């Protein structure tokens, strides 16, 4: 029997909601998704607004769910039935969106996480960038604001560039100083963005390799839709395989994004919530006294 479940991913910059219909987490169907940027608003108000928007899109009521699962900020969703860790939900959501993936690269606003998983979405290992790493969504958003470029144009401008000067610093503050110097030297906006993308991609490639990732890697988080960064990742993984005309021994990696990649955590939470509901229901049935 199929039930409705909801997942709410409370991130540092945005709240993502996914509503699914599934049979204990199997054969899940996404009915609606919603996202709301926090932007200095009260996080509980943003959670409620995103949830109400998702309810309207799915045309269901708040009391229709078997389980409402939260992930991310554990204190942000006061009405959640239960909570799941972010690595678990992103692995499950990534597997739903990219079934052939056995690793995940979650590129969030403040951190990037590389997750290795099995064919059931079970986390086998993970690594995370340091707090000061300039490879996050917030860093890229700050740079775009300084350059006067809308976020939706960042990827296009980067891909159109034929030149790049990479940012050398791993510290976000110093990296922003590098960008200011590039502007003063007259470098074009596209060349600066391409250099930033290559710098970020280089750190993410090393992060992924440190987990033993190989094969297909699903990209999640807001930066998964930045086609300039995705292209930079593809370029670096291609270069890994051939250097100086010689074949490399590193296992090949293919990165895959999905239009719903920013909602992977919320989708995974909803799927896991439906599974947990069914497990709890079975336990209650088994422990009920017989007549």
Q: Domain extents for the chain?
A: 3-86+263-287, 103-256
How does the average pLDDT of the chain come out, rounded? 89
pLDDT value of position 34 = 98
Counting every residue written for the chain, the total comes to: 291
pLDDT value of position 282 = 87
CA dist., res. 34 & res. 56, Å (int): 10
What is the percent of the chain where pLDDT is above 70? 92
Region of 40 (left: φ > 0; alpha: ψ -120 to 50; beta: rest) is left
- Whether 131 shows a pLDDT value over 60: the answer reads no
pLDDT digits (tens, 9 = 90+) for 220-255: 998 999 999 999 999 999 988 776 556 667 889 999
pLDDT value of position 168 = 64
State the pLDDT confidence band at 113, using cuts at 50, 70 and 90.
very high
Is the separation of the CB atoms in 143 and 180 below 8 Å?
no
- pTM, whole model, 2 decimals? 0.90
Query: Strand (E) positions, the chain?
Result: 3-10, 14-23, 26-37, 65-72, 82-84, 103-107, 112-117, 123-128, 215-220, 242-243, 246-247, 253-256
Could you check whether 3-86+263-287 and 103-256 share the same CATH topology? yes
Mean pLDDT of 7-26: 94
Flag the least confident range among 74-88, 132-146, 167-181, 247-261: 167-181
Is the separation of the CB atoms in 2 and 22 below 8 Å?
yes
| Other beta carbons within 10 Å of 9 | 34
Mean pLDDT of 260-269: 97
CATH for 103-256 is 3.30.420.40
CATH architecture of 3-86+263-287: 2-Layer Sandwich (3.30)
Task: Show the DSSP H helices in 67-217 as ranges.
Answer: 86-97, 137-147, 151-160, 172-184, 189-210
């Amino acid at each position: 029997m199929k039930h409705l479940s909801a997942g709410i991913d409370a991130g540092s910059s945005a709240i993502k909601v996914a509503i699914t219909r599934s049979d204990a987490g199997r054969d899940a169907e996404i009915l609606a998704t919603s996202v709301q940027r926090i932007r200095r608003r009260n996080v509980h108000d943003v959670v409620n607004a995103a949830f109400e928007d998702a309810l309207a899109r799915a045309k269901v009521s708040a009391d229709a769910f078997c389980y409402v699962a939260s992930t991310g900020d554990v204190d942000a969703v006061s009405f959640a039935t239960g909570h799941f860790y972010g690595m678990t939900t992103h692995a499950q959501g990534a597997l739903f969106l990219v079934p052939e993936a056995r690793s995940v690269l979650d590129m969030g606003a403040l951190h990037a996480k590389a997750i290795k998983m099995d064919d059931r979405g079970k986390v086998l290992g993970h690594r995370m960038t340091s707090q000061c790493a300039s490879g996050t969504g917030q860093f890229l958003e700050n740079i775009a604001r300084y350059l006067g470029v809308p976020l939706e144009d960042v990827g296009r401008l980067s891909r159109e560039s034929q030149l790049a000067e990479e940012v050398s610093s791993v510290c976000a503050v110093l990296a922003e100083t590098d960008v200011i110097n590039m502007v003063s030297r007259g470098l074009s906006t596209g060349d600066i963005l391409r250099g930033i993308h290559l710098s970020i991609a280089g750190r993410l490639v090393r992060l992924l390799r440190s987990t033993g990732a190989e094969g297909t890697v699903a990209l999640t988080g807001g930066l998964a839709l930045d086609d300039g960064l995705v292209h930079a990742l593809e370029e670096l993984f291609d270069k890994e395989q051939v250097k100086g005309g010689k074949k490399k021994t590193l296992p090949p990696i293919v990165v895959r994004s999905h239009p719903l990649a920013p909602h992977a955590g919320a989708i995974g939470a909803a799927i896991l919530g439906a599974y947990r509901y069914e497990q709890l229901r079975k336990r209650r049935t088994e422990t009920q006294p017989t007549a």
